[in-house]
Amino acid sequence: MADNRPMTDTAALVDDVLSTTPLIDGHNDLASALRSTAGYSVDDLDADRPELHTDIPRLRAGRVGAQFWSVFVPSTLTGGDAVLSTLEQIDAVHRMLARYPETFTLACTADDVLAAFGAGRIASLLGAEGGHSIGGSLGALRMFARLGVRYMTLTHNDNVEWADSATDEPAAGGLTDVGRAVVAEMNRLGMLVDLSHTAESTQLDALAATTAPVIFSHSSCRAVCDHPRNASDEVLRRLAGNGGVLQVTFVPKFVSNEVARWGAESRAALGGGDWPWPRAPRPGEDPAAVAADNAGADPDAARRAAWEADHPRPEAGIDDVVAHLEHAREVAGIEHIGLGGDYDGVDRLPRGLEDVAGYPRLLEALAARGWSRDDLAALAGGNVLRVLRDADDVATETLWPTAAG
């Protein structure tokens, strides 16, 4: 849909920034959304897809220059099941890139990102969400790197044997010696250590152990919204010393205390609400038929809808995200912030950021508050490009495929 807003000074400034700096988002769950809603079909992403937060027209409207596509699998999967499902997710991203070569290209390095941006394509990087995805195997970690996985989140919602999650009961006490060995291998390969979803004890241990900058691919600030998925000021200060980046997320319950309280009430009334992992198509099976099966796979949908009808969900807005960005800039510094929307990983996003078309509106809101051109360029992508380069400088063996391979 055309954007008919009148041109303003802030709009012109943001247009200039996004014309010269690739906007890099740290986390988008389109691959898992395609598994559940489309049986992993990658067809018709060049058309309007209102059931998703992401399609090609809205990526273009949002001026997205580079995207870390999450190859998420739930942390209830373990061992070989987790590795297999992660491979299916990686395959979905690679098939999407092959289906739309005029729009997407695989990227693993900062130079790849800039080359794609210069060619008018969306640089596509991959990120594995949770250490359970490697099934306890550094061989699996290395093979994921060979397939283009550029970061791994150390945990998801549940602990792994070697690291504690932010949303599970403490068990490892942070990172174990095995966890430190995983971090060391990631440093050796140049794979970014992602601390979103991890417990603060894990974050502090990882920051002490790593020899390369880390990222938070999709987290916000605990001082602004007291949610365990957000980073504390102590961690933000340590992050600045490490050279890493907090990619501020838009998830309403992570940016708004009001939404966070509603979420806690919902969990108390309805339970944890574990999302059933949808099945993938079997060989020769029609993806549409699988999508139809998956659509009816949530046994709690009706009960949840009834509860929400009596307990309306509050909304977050673009100003909530701005508050986190400004706090992170104040505590960690402008060199250590980025963006990580988590589109297609949650059911709704803040007003003004409802889908991937909203990034220019966010940058315009920041420009209106006095953020400079250099500030906006650093936030949009400059900081993440630096982290990619610094991690590659530390690495002693890089396994990334070439952008054409």
Q: Which are the catalytic amino acids?
A: 27, 29, 129, 156, 197, 218, 342
**Alpha carbon 71 to chain centroid, angstroms:** 10
Residue whose tokens read 């890493």? 244
CB 254 within 8 A of CB 316: no
Label residues 164-192 b or e (16+ Cβ within 10 Å = b): bbbbbeeebebbbeebbebbebbbbbbbb
Q: What is the DSSP string of 195-258?
A: -TTB-HHHHHHHHHH-SS--EEEEE-BTTTS--TTSBPHHHHHHHHHHT-EEEE---HHHH-HH
Q: Is residue 248 a contact partner of residue 215, using CB atoms and an 8 Å limit?
A: no
> Mapping DSSP to helix (H, G, I), strand (E, B) and coil, where does residue 314 land?
coil
| Phi, psi for 202 (deg, rounded to 5) | -65, -40
SS3 153: strand
Q: Which residues partner with 66 through β-bridges? A: 24, 123
- Rounded CA gap, 304 and 228, in Å? 23
Query: Are the C-beta atoms of residues 232 and 223 closer than 8 Å to each other?
Result: yes
